[in-house]
C-alpha cells in the first residue's frame, strides 16, 4: 500500500496536474504527449528530460510547437519508482523481437542493473551519466532500445488522440461549471497564439 501511495502521489503531481493546469492549445498538449512518450520509453533515464528539451528546441526551429511541460510530465512515467518494471518490459520485448529477427542477444541478471545504478549515483553527474550510458550500450543496448521503441512508438501514436479526447472532456467540464461552452472557455482561458505551427521560432517556452 505504501508503494501504491507513493506511486499515486508521483503520478498526480508529475503527470496529472500539468494537464489540469495547462492553458496551452489542445494540439500543442497532444504533441507534447507524443514527444514525451517516445523519450520516456527509452532506457535513458537521467538524460530523457534533456532530450525532450532538445526536441522542443529543434521543433521550434522548424516552427512546430508542442507544450514542453506536458512532454516532461510524460517523460516522468519512467521514474526511479517505475524503472524496474519498464526496464524489464523493454528488455523482454527487445529480446523477443530480436529472436524473431534471428539476432542473438546475451542474458542479463537484473541485479547487475541495480549495482550499476548505485555506482553511477555515487559518482559526479557527468561521470555517472557516462558510466550508465556505457553499461546500457555495452550490456543491454540493443534489446533495451528495441523494446523501448516497440512500446514507445505505438504509445506515442495512441497518446495524441487519447490526450485530445481526455483534455477536451476535462475542459468541457470546466466550461460547464462556468456556464459556458467549450469554445467560449477556450477563448477565455487558452493561450492566444498561433497554435501548433509558429510564424517565428522562439527559445522561450510558455
- At 109 the pLDDT is 64
- At 127 the pLDDT is 80
- At 197 the pLDDT is 55
Residue 72's nearest CA partner among 131, 8, 13 is 13
CA distance 20 to 72: 15
Instruction: Give residue-wise pLDDT tens across range 87-97.
Output: 888 888 998 99
Q: Quick one: cell of 203?
A: 527559445
Say which residues have a Cβ less than 8 Å from residue 133's Cβ, sequence separation at least 6: 44, 47
- At 36 the pLDDT is 95
- At 116 the pLDDT is 75
46: helix, strand or coil? coil
CA distance 158 to 133: 29
CB 33 within 8 A of CB 74: yes
Residue 80's nearest CA partner among 109, 131, 50, 120 is 120
Say which residues have a Cβ less than 8 Å from residue 50's Cβ, sequence separation at least 6: none
- At 201 the pLDDT is 45
CB 55 within 8 A of CB 35: yes
Which regions of the chain are under pLDDT 70?
Answer: 1-4, 6-7, 10, 80, 106-110, 132-133, 136-141, 193-206
Give the predicted TM-score (pTM) of the model.
0.74
Instruction: Give residue-wise pLDDT tens across range 136-170.
Output: 666 666 888 899 999 999 999 999 999 999 999 99
Amino acid at each position: 500500500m505504501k508503494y501504491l501511495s507513493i506511486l499515486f502521489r508521483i503520478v498526480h503531481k508529475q503527470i496529472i496536474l500539468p494537464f489540469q493546469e495547462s492553458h496551452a492549445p489542445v494540439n500543442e498538449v497532444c504533441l507534447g504527449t507524443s514527444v514525451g512518450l517516445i523519450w520516456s520509453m527509452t532506457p535513458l533515464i537521467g538524460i530523457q528530460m534533456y532530450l525532450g528539451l532538445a526536441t522542443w528546441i529543434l521543433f521550434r526551429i522548424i516552427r512546430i510547437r508542442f507544450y514542453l511541460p506536458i512532454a516532461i510530465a510524460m517523460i516522468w512515467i519512467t521514474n526511479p519508482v517505475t524503472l524496474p518494471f519498464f526496464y524489464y518490459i523493454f528488455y523482454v520485448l527487445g529480446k523477443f523481437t530480436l529472436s524473431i529477427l534471428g539476432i542473438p542477444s546475451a542474458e542479463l541478471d537484473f541485479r547487475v542493473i541495480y549495482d550499476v545504478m548505485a555506482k553511477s549515483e555515487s559518482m559526479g553527474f557527468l561521470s555517472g551519466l557516462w558510466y550508465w550510458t556505457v553499461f546500457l550500450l555495452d550490456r543491454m543496448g540493443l534489446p533495451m532500445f528495441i523494446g523501448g521503441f516497440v512500446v514507445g512508438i505505438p504509445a506515442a501514436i495512441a497518446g495524441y488522440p487519447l490526450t485530445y479526447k481526455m483534455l477536451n472532456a476535462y475542459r468541457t467540464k470546466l466550461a460547464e461549471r462556468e456556464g459556458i461552452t467549450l469554445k467560449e472557455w477556450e477563448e477565455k482561458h487558452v493561450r492566444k497564439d498561433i497554435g501548433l505551427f509558429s510564424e517565428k521560432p522562439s527559445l522561450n517556452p510558455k
